[in-house]
Amino acid sequence: MRLEVNGLKFEIGRAVIKLGTKQVTDFNTIDHANLEKFAAEVAALRARGVEFILTASGAIGLGRLQFKDKLGNGKLDLSRKQALAGVGQIELMELFKQKFAAHGIPVGQVLLTHAIFDNRNTYLNARNTLNTMLEMGIVPVINENDSVAVEEIRFGDNDRLGALVALLTDSDLYIMLSDIDGFYSDYGTPESKLMKIVNLDTEPSLARHAGDKEFNLSTGGMVTKLEAARLTNLSCVPSVIANGFKAGIITAVMDNLREGTIFISNRCKLSQKKRWISAKRPRGKLVIDDGAVGAVRAHKSLLPSGIRMVEGKFLRGDLVLVAGTDGAKVAAGLVNFDAGECAKIAGHKSAEIEILLGEHGREDDVIHIDNMVVY
Binding site for ligand GLU (CB under 6 A): 21, 57-61, 85, 143-144, 146, 157-158, 218-220
**Rounded Cα distance, 364 and 171, in Å:** 36
Cα distances (Å, whole numbers) of residue 360 to 24, 221, 345: 59, 50, 14
**Rounded Cα distance, 338 and 283, in Å:** 11
Q: How far is the CB of 54 from ligand GLU (least distance, A)?
A: 12
CB-nearer residue toward ligand GLU: 139 or 346? 139
Q: How far is the CB of 83 from ligand GLU (least distance, A)?
A: 12
CB-nearer residue toward ligand GLU: 57 or 169? 57
Q: How far is the CB of 290 from ligand GLU (least distance, A)?
A: 38
Q: How far is the CB of 175 from ligand GLU (least distance, A)?
A: 15
Q: How far is the CB of 148 from ligand GLU (least distance, A)?
A: 12
CB-nearer residue toward ligand GLU: 61 or 306? 61
**Rounded Cα distance, 84 and 70, in Å:** 12
Q: How far is the CB of 72 from ligand GLU (least distance, A)?
A: 18
Q: How far is the CB of 144 from ligand GLU (least distance, A)?
A: 4
Output the residue with the shortest Cβ distance to ligand GLU: 218
CB-nearer residue toward ligand GLU: 65 or 339? 65
CB-nearer residue toward ligand GLU: 21 or 239? 21
**Rounded Cα distance, 20 and 53, in Å:** 14
CB-nearer residue toward ligand GLU: 156 or 248? 156
CB-nearer residue toward ligand GLU: 177 or 367? 177
CB-nearer residue toward ligand GLU: 82 or 305? 82
**Rounded Cα distance, 105 and 118, in Å:** 31
The closest of 39, 46, 1, 42 to 137, measured between CA atoms, is 46
**Rounded Cα distance, 141 and 92, in Å:** 10
Q: How far is the CB of 347 from ligand GLU (least distance, A)?
A: 42
CB-nearer residue toward ligand GLU: 88 or 324? 88
- Fill in the amino acid letter for 30: I
